[in-house]
């Protein structure tokens, strides 16, 4: 009998770990889903998830303090990696949040504030952007069986603006266009919360666990 696949959800003290773990386990009951901070478990896993919620300075600070940045860089060399929400923002070069934060620079680009005067069709929009929003999907295996324009659940005041638009795999619009998903080689990252996005989010997580890291 073949050993079950292992998915490691990185625990650095910041992230919606319980719901991410539950959603991953739901879509792939045969997969062993670990919430772990142990480098040896993360590096031994078949798939790795970098979650994140809250302030970017705290997230990046903990990632660097615990050496998770070095582990993520190692993971990126060889296996499928999924970033979620602030996990995506932490992968960028720099964020405007908290007066400016240098991030991990795994994707070149900026994390920018939506603004206090965000409007659409003459109506003022609330920030943070919280709720369901359509995503324009661009060709990638993780969108398998997910229709273009499907809705996903977002909670964010800051948005990603990638320097290399070839890496953009999903786009959203909330008063202004923003990059909702990035992908390069065996790395994929999303601004929305797939674990809170019902059918489409679960399908994306299932696609991730079935993905061999080839774009």
Enumerate residues 6+ apart whose C-beta is below 8 A from 191: 85, 88, 89, 154, 156, 159, 160, 172, 178, 179, 180, 181
pLDDT tens readout for residues 26-74: 999 999 999 999 999 999 999 999 998 888 999 999 999 999 999 999 9
Q: Which of 85, 97, 129, 156 is catalytic?
A: 85
- In sequence order, what are the beta bridge partners of 73? none
Contact assessment for residue 173 and residue 159, using Cβ atoms and an 8 Å cutoff = no
Could you give the CA distance from residue 43 to residue 21 in angstroms, rounded to a whole number?
A: 18
Confirm whether 96 is a catalytic residue: no
pLDDT tens readout for residues 115-140: 999 999 999 999 999 999 999 999 99
pLDDT over 50 at 152, yes or no = yes
Confirm whether 195 is a catalytic residue: yes
Confirm whether 123 is a catalytic residue: no
Could you give the CA distance from residue 128 to residue 215 in angstroms, rounded to a whole number?
A: 32
Cβ count near 138 (within 10 Å)? 16
Q: What is the mean pLDDT of the chain?
A: 95
Q: What is the pTM of this model?
A: 0.95
Task: Decide: residue 139, CB within 10 A, 0-12 exposed, 13-18 middle, 19+ buried.
Answer: exposed
Q: Phi then psi for 166, rounded to 5 degrees?
A: -65, -20
């Amino acid at each position: 009998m073949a050993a079950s696949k292992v998915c490691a959800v990185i625990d650095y003290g910041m992230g919606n770990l319980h719901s991410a773990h539950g959603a991953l386990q739901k879509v792939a009951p045969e997969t062993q889903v670990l919430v772990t901070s142990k480098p040896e478990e993360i590096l031994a896993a078949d798939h790795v998830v970098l979650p994140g919620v809250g302030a970017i300075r705290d997230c990046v600070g903990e990632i660097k303090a615990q050496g998770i940045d070095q582990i993520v860089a190692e993971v990126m060399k060889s296996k499928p990696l999924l970033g979620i929400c602030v996990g995506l923002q932490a992968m960028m070069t720099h964020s405007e949040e908290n007066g400016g934060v240098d991030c991990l620079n795994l994707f070149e680009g900026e994390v920018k504030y939506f603004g206090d005067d965000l409007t659409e069709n003459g109506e003022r929009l609330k920030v943070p952007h919280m709720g369901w929003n359509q995503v324009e999907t661009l060709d990638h295996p993780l969108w398998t069986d997910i229709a273009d324009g499907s809705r996903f659940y977002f909670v964010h005041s800051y948005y990603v603006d990638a320097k290399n638009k070839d890496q953009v795999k999903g786009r959203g619009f909330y008063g202004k266009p923003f990059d909702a998903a990035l992908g390069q080689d065996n790395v994929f990252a999303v601004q929305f919360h797939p674990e809170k996005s019902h059918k489409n989010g679960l399908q994306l997580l299932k696609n991730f666990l079935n993905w061999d890291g080839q774009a």
